[in-house]
Structure 1
Amino acid sequence: MSITSEELNYLIWRYLQESGKELSALALQEDTRVLEFEERFGEHFPIGSLVNFVQRGILYTEADLMVKGDGSVIEQSEEFDQSYGKNFSLIQALEIDRQKYPEIVAEGRFALAGDPAASDAMTSAKSSMPETANNQDFIKTLKEVSKIPVSASAQWSTKSELILASVEQNLTLALRTYKNEEESLIETSKLIAQLSIIPGVSTTNSESNEVTVLEWAPDGNLLACGMENGNLVLWSANNKLCNILTLHRSAILAVKWSSDNSHILSYDVQNTAVIWNTSTGTALQIFELKDDNSSEVLGVDVEWLGVDKFVIPGLQGSILVYSLGENKPVGKLLGHTATLTGLEFNTKNRMLLSSSEDLTLRIWRSGSINSSNCFYGHSQSITCAQWLDEEKVISTSMDGTVRVWSCRSNAQVALALVDGTPILCGSLSPDKTKFAIGKMDGEVTVYEISLLLDKLRDNGNSTSVQPLSIPIFGDFQSDEAESYVNTLSWDSESQYLSINYSQTKVSVISVE
């Protein structure tokens, strides 16, 4: 098989288009014949063709590595298979070629004048080869420290204590307490409660009533369990039923506590939002937003803007701003044109981040009805959007990319590609040093956000044509049957990450 330079140009142009680098793609477009190829062959090239092509090159290098000089295949052991499957990457493939065919070092009249690397290039090239195993490009495999039964949802407590809540088979709520012991996680206690026997939670006939949302209060003393039938059950950390809030008539999609623990904002699939008093269980405000021409969900998230204001999805992609005690919105944010997929308020800069099915992210400043930033680049649904600091946000998408955006420069500043595998969820650690993503193939990747922010600061936060690559801290793949990742949850100290799968047991991994 061979490939011409024009064909390679077209693959690179397609990659730039898919990655949201329009300026780079335009520059390449002006100097090549890529538009002719697009017109003739574009429909035959799927998304991610260049990445797929490179992967096939890696597989060729893999096969070459496994065959001895005499043509016999290297004997494979279980240890070899684990190391081989986890650690082989593009960097290692290039390293193999570099060892076979070392680079020709520019010396003498071919060396750049004043280049300090030229004088000791051979020495540094030789010395760097044995250090490859310690290079940060080698991704480490994260260690699984605990496993619990299949759960509809699992969430770490917001307390400093290691308490993991999960809802298991037959609506069994389990509260497990752990402790650190010699680099391992030991379960010290487990409290069990049968939600199915609680009036209003139990079902008749063959109706199902699963838990759709688990959300701890900021102080970690109460746990809200949103149900499929619309009920909201409040449970204490010491395993006691506190209240059952009944008003929703359909499955609850989102539950958010106010920062002072006094109110809960809940939202269901019929676009009904309710404000609850957590002490009395009283519904203080009810908002029913319906579009007579459509039955679709307006959004899947809600958010508090302090202790007395909140936002909920509105019609046609709008965001409605309400105050406690007011039945009419005090503001309406227009810009998005489709279902809202995420909302997050930054308490430090007082700005709201939103994401939508219209494939954009927007930043809203306090006191303004117009977005101050609008980020384009994702080609499929945005599945997560969060603030990294007061100036940068991170997003994930079904298009298999993780992107970091700068509000100051209104541009993308960092990017990670995951071979086109859809990313279903993402979660930033409480200390904001790491970001985890869960993919459709069941793999979890953790990125080193603190290192990325250091690199951006070293670069003076400048926006170059090529975004920085997001450093990877490590990854994890469950050894059980394939299933996709539902949710991710960090403990309050950012040491452990729970991974909720669609069909298999919940894994807890160490991220230190």
Structure 2
Amino acid sequence: MSLSTTELNYLIWRYLQEGGLEVSAFALQDETKVHEYEERYTDKIPLGCLVDLVQKGILYYKVNDMVQKGGVIASEDIINMNFNLFNSISQPAAGVEERKIGSSSVVAPQPQQKALTGQENGTVEEEQEFTPVLKESFTFPSSLANSWNPKNSDSFAWGQRDSTSAICSLTWENGSAKLQSNVLPHPANSKEVVSLSWSPKGNLLLTASENGELRLWDSDGSIRFIMAMHSSPVLAIQWSPNASYLLSLDITNKAVVWDSQTGQSVQYIDNLAETNDKCLGTDSCWIDDSIFVLPGSNYALNVYQLGDSQPIGVLAGHSDTVSSIKYNKELRLLCSASDDQTVRIWRGNSINSLQVLSGHSQPLTYLDWCKLGGNWYVLTCSLDGSLKLWDIYKNKTLDSKLVDNGLPILVAALSPDYTKVATGDSDGNIMIWSILADGQFKQLGFFQPGETNSSNFASAIHWNSSSSQVSVSYSERSSCVIKIV
């Protein structure tokens, strides 16, 4: 016997209706459209069916628990003394170590048992795994942001805390890196450089300062434009797919669309000013060269057409700050993560979320699409210290791993070839994970920045275009580049 997700949702919906929980029933109905199955199931499902089904499941566990090892029936009094719903749930699926099949006895392997080799000569060898300790290839000044040139795997930029940024070119000789830096000066009153982003073609670099000023540079370090319409720190910078426009979002929920050829603003969105006491989101996203998505009122996602001051669509569902928004052009699906601990998948022809992924116990800090074997999955990281790979069609995780120290994951980055992910925790530790073909995570390496300092955290982490190097920005100590061999 099997129970499908649709059938279970219908039973829960009926239970909520029977219990007078109309608001909860309506919410479930709105999310799952379960009312569409009313005509099919209404005459087949009696009142109280869900409760009856759960009670029968508990009874099954009770009967199963009465049979002890060797087929001995335990005293019913002992079973009744400690038996309840939560005890039944905690029982293992197989309560005995041996299972007899016909006249043969098969002993179940112990969980810690390793594969044995060399038994012919009486020796036993255990397969042992260890995580290599990674070393920094070179360092650069303390920074809040960094970014690799998408077209040059040996060129990257960073933003320092002393009102300067730099473009660096790397050359390798005998395994050692040599740097050639080009400093990009900013006025002293601009304070820290908090964000930067390369254009898709790698010929332009945009830097954002704490005072809201944006500066557009050529890849050789010459300045093109100074763009000043923000008065607060800019949280997100997004280039349109053809690099014709720039979208900037600041901490007060104001957004500006810029023409990258002239440096002039073409659209200013300030209809969220009434909510500037709360940051609605820290990310934005382009759907194509004329449609983009911004966090909106009540943590909805507002979809805008270039030139229109009002959204052409509103995607409501999140209940807290939107931390990440990613669009998959191939699937034509939008994905969003939030401080409400959920991920939502959206389809363009519906204002309701297609799927809701729940499993993290703290706000999400990273989200991206990951392609394995021709199929797309969703990668997430959270302040609960875990990273997960999701099958969005089956609404389940392929794998979930907790960083060794259990510290919150503040930053993460998926490699361009989708084979590795780097995570940085609140102590500045960097873990490199391999994503295997079956969607499982495996530790590749570990980097520790030295003496632990609560104020020294990893503020940004990025891969180069060849997926061979990781740049890490640190808030207090020197930032660094780690080469993955």
Give TM-score scaled by structure 2 length.
0.73
Answer 1 or 2: which has greater helix percent: 1
Q: Which residue of 1 is the match for residue 11 of structure 2? A: none
The aligned runs of 1:459-470 (5 Å cut-off) are 470=441
How far does residue 179 in structure 1 lie from its aligned partner after superposition?
2.0
Question: Which amino acid letter does the alignment assign opposite residue 406 of structure 1?
Answer: D
Instruction: Indicate which of 332, 345, 348 corresponds to 2:330.
Output: 348
Report SS of the residue matched to 2:438.
Answer: helix
Question: What's the CA shift string for 1:154-182, capped at 9, x where partnerless?
Answer: 22211224112122353222211102333
Which ranges of structure 2 fall in alignment gaps of 5 or more residues? 1-56, 66-81, 88-102, 110-114
Match of 2:54 in 1: none
Structure 1 CA distance for aligned equivalents of residues 332 and 121 of structure 2: 52
2:434 alignment partner AA = E
Report what 2:184 is aligned to.
193
Q: After superposition, what is the alpha-carbon deviation per residue over 1:32-65, rounded to whole angstroms, capped at 9, x for unaligned?
A: 779889xxxxxxxxxxxxxxxxxxxxxxxxxxxx
Q: Is the 8 A contact 1:391 1:408 kept in 2?
A: no
| Paired residue type of 1:251 | P
For 2:458, the equivalent position in structure 1 comes to: 485
- Find the counterpart in structure 2 of residue 279 from structure 1: 261
Structure 2 letter corresponding to 1:407: I
Asked whether the equivalents of residues 276 and 284 of structure 1 are also in contact (C-alpha less than 8 Å), the reply is yes
Q: 1:170 to 1:377 in 2, by over 3 A?
A: same
How far 1:281 sits from its partner (Å)?
Answer: 1.1
Whether 2:374 is the aligned partner of 1:374: answer: no
Return the letter of the residue paired with 1:355.
A
1:298 aligns with 2:284: no
Instruction: Evaluate the alpha carbon distance shift between residue 293 and residue 507 of structure 1 in structure 2; reply closer, same or farther with a 3 A threshold.
Output: closer
Deviation at 1:193, TM superposition (A): 2.9
1:183 Cα deviation from its structure 2 partner: 3.3
Q: Which shifted more, 233-242 or 177-186?
A: 177-186
Shift of 1:111: 7.3
Count of aligned pairs between the two proteins: 383
Q: Which residue of 2 aligns with 1:404?
A: 389
Amino acid in the other structure paired with 1:154:
N
- Aligned residue for 2:484? 511
Q: Secondary structure at the match of 1:259?
A: coil
Paired residues of 1:263 and 1:276 also in contact (CA < 8 A): yes
RMSD (Å) for aligned C-alpha atoms: 2.8
Structure-2 change in CA distance of 1:293 and 1:163 (3 Å) = closer
- TM-score, normalization by structure 1: 0.69
CA distance 1:126–1:297, shift in 2 (3 Å)? farther
CA distance in 1 between counterparts of 2:121 and 2:211 reads 66
Amino acid at match of 2:299: G
Render the CA deviation track for 1:400-432: whole Å, top value 9, x for unaligned. Answer: 111111112111221001242111011001111
Gaps of 5+ in 1: 1-25, 38-108, 197-201, 457-468
| CA contact 2:139–2:481 (8 Å) conserved in 1 | yes
1:237 paired with 2:228, answer: no
In the TM superposition, residue 384 of structure 1 has moved relative to its aligned partner by 0.4
Amino-acid identity (%): 33
Summarize the alignment of residues 113-512 of structure 1 with structure 2, pairs less than 5 Å apart: 123=118, 132=127, 135=128, 137-187=129-179, 189-196=180-187, 202-203=188-189, 209-290=191-272, 292=274, 295-389=277-371, 390-418=375-403, 419-449=405-435, 451=436, 454-456=437-439, 470-480=441-451, 482=453, 483-512=456-485
Answer yes or no: is the 8 Å Cα contact 2:415–2:421 preserved in 1. Answer: yes
2:6 alignment partner in structure 1: none
CA contact (8 A) 1:355 1:382 kept: yes
Distance 2:84 2:479 in 1: 47
3-state SS of paired residue (1:316): helix
Describe the superposition over 1:428-461 as per-residue Cα deviations: whole angstroms up to 9, x where unpaired: 0111110110001111111111x1xx225xxxxx
Check conservation: 1:274, 1:283, Cα contact below 8 A: yes
